[in-house]
Homo-oligomer: A and B are copies of this chain.
Amino acid sequence: MNSFVLHGDICFCPTPKRLLAIEDGYVVVRDGVTELCCGALPDTAKELPLHDYRSKLVFPGMVDLHVHAPQYAFRGLGADMELLEWLRHYAFPEEAKYGDLRYADKAYSMFTGALKNSATTRAVIFGSLHHDATKLLMDKMEDSGVVSYVGKVNMDRNSPDNLCETTEESYRSAERIIRETAGKYRNTKPILTPRFVPSCTDELLNRLGRLAEKEDVPVQSHLSENPEEIKWVARLCPDSRFYGEVYDKYGLFGSSTPTVMAHCVFSGDEEIALMKERGVYIAHCPASNMNVGSGIAPISRYMREGLSVGLGSDIAGGQSESIFTAMVEAMQLSRLYRRHIDGESTPLTFAQTLYMATKGGGQFFGKAGSFERGYEFDAIVIDDSTLPHPQPLTLAQRAERAVWLSGDKTGLIAKYVRGNRIL
C-alpha cells in the first residue's frame, strides 16, 4: 500500500549546512519509509506505482514543535500585552472554556482542520488542563492524519480558579490519559505537559518526572521566555541556579525521556550547557517572541553549538500555523539579532532554517523530516507556478522563494505522512 515512487523537484536538508536540491528527482518509498532519494529512477523501483509531481517542489513535511490547540480560537487577537499579562487576559480565560466539551468540539475541529490543511505533518501540542477535552483533541488529531504528541496541561498553582487543579487531580489526570490512550492511536501519543514552573508545585513536578520515567513518556514545557517570568521562577525556586535546573531536578529536562522546551530566549550559559548535555529540544517560536514582546532568541548560537532546534508556531502567541512563516521570521529575527544584540553572530541561512523546520524538529519523533534512507516518508508538494517570475530560476531559488512568498497554504497540492497521502 505505502510503497511507491514520488517524482518531482526535491529539496531537503540532511544537515543544517547542506540543502540538497534534486531537479527531476525520485524518492523510492517502501512501506512508508524512504529507501532511496536520487536523480534517476532505479531499475529496482520500476515496478512501483509512480506519484508524478514533475516540476513541482517537494519538501519533507513541516514539523511544529510547539503549538497550543485551545488558543487557535483567538489567534490574531490581543497581541498588545507581554507574556504574563497576556496569559491572564487572553490565554487563561479562553482555555477555561474547554471545560465545555461542546465548545471544545467546535474549536478543536477548527484547529485540527487547519493543521490538516497546512504544510505541517508532525506537531507537539499543548491541550488545556481538561481531561476529556484533551482526549477529544487526541481523537481529532488522529482523524487529521497529522502525527502528534498531545499534552493535557498540568497546572496546580498561580492559576485562575477556573483553570487550576489540585496536585492530586492534575497528576491523576495525566496518568489516566496515558493509560486510557495506550495502543489506541496510530499517529497520536500523549506527552507530559507541566505548563511552566510558575504554575506547577514542586510536588507536581516531582510526580510528573517520575511518571515520565516510569511510563517512558516525553515531556514538553516552556523555558526562559520572558524576563519577568524568569525573575518569578527565581523567586519561586530559590534553590535552583537557573530556570531549566528546576525541570532538571525533577527529571523533566531530558534526563529520562525526550523533552522539548519552548522559547529559550534568555537562557544563560549554564542553562544552554545543560540543554546540550541532556539533548533537550528547543522549540523556536519567532512570531510569538515578537507578538508578546519576549525578545529575540540566540538561535544561530544554539545551532552553532549543536543543540537540537526546531520551529514552533506557538499559536496563539504566534498568529499563524504556517511553519513556512516561522522559517521566514526566524531568518528575519536572526538578522535583527546581529544588528541589535550581537554584531558577531551569524544570520541563519535558508538551509539552516529549512533544516530546523524539518529534520531539526522531526528528530523528536524519531526518523522524520528528511528524505534520507530509513526516514519515515512525510512530504509536502508545492505548485510554485502561481508565483510568476520573468526569468529562469534554479531549484534552490525556487525553494527559497516558495518559502518566503507562500506561507504554507498557497500552492500546497499534496501532503504525505508516513507514506500515506492525507491531502
Contact = CB atoms under 8 A, between A and B. Distances in A.
Interface residues of A, number: 46
Contact of A290 (B79, B294, B333): B333
A135 to B, nearest CB: 19
B405 A320 contact: yes
Interface in A58-84: 73, 75-77, 79-80
A214 interface: no
Nearest to A405: B76
A340 B73 contact: no
Interface in A287-332: 287, 290-296, 319-320, 328, 331-332
B291 A401 contact: no
A391 interface: yes
Copies of this chain present in the complex amount to 2
A290 B335 contact: yes
A320 B410 CA distance: 14
Nearest to A389: B73
A77 B110 contact: no
Interface in A201-225: none
Interface string A350-361: 100000000000
A73 B79 CA distance: 33
A80 B79 CA distance: 29
Contacts of A393: 77
A400 interface: yes
Contact of A293 (B76, B290, B293, B339): B339
Interface of A: 73, 75-77, 79-80, 103, 106-107, 110, 287, 290-296, 319-320, 328, 331-333, 335-336, 338-341, 347, 349-350, 387-391, 393, 397, 400-401, 403-405, 407
Contacts of A333: 290
A173 B117 CA distance: 51
Contact of A390 (B73, B339, B390, B391): B73
Contacts of A404: 75-77, 79, 319
7 contacts: A73-B391, A76-B404, A103-B391, A107-B390, A290-B336, A292-B335, A293-B338
A405 B293 contact: no
Nearest to A335: B293
Given A77-B400, A347-B80, A390 B103 contact: yes
Contacts of A110: 388-390
Contacts of A405: 75-76, 319-320
Contact of A296 (B75, B293, B319, B340): B340
A295 B340 contact: yes
B339 A341 contact: no
A347 to B, nearest CB: 7
A40 B287 CA distance: 40
A387 B113 CA distance: 12
A356 to B, nearest CB: 16
A336 B295 contact: yes
A291 to B, nearest CB: 6
A291 B332 contact: yes
Contacts of A338: 293
Contact of A341 (B287, B340, B388): B340
Contacts of A290: 332-333, 335-336
Contacts of A340: 295-296, 340-341
A390 B336 CA distance: 36
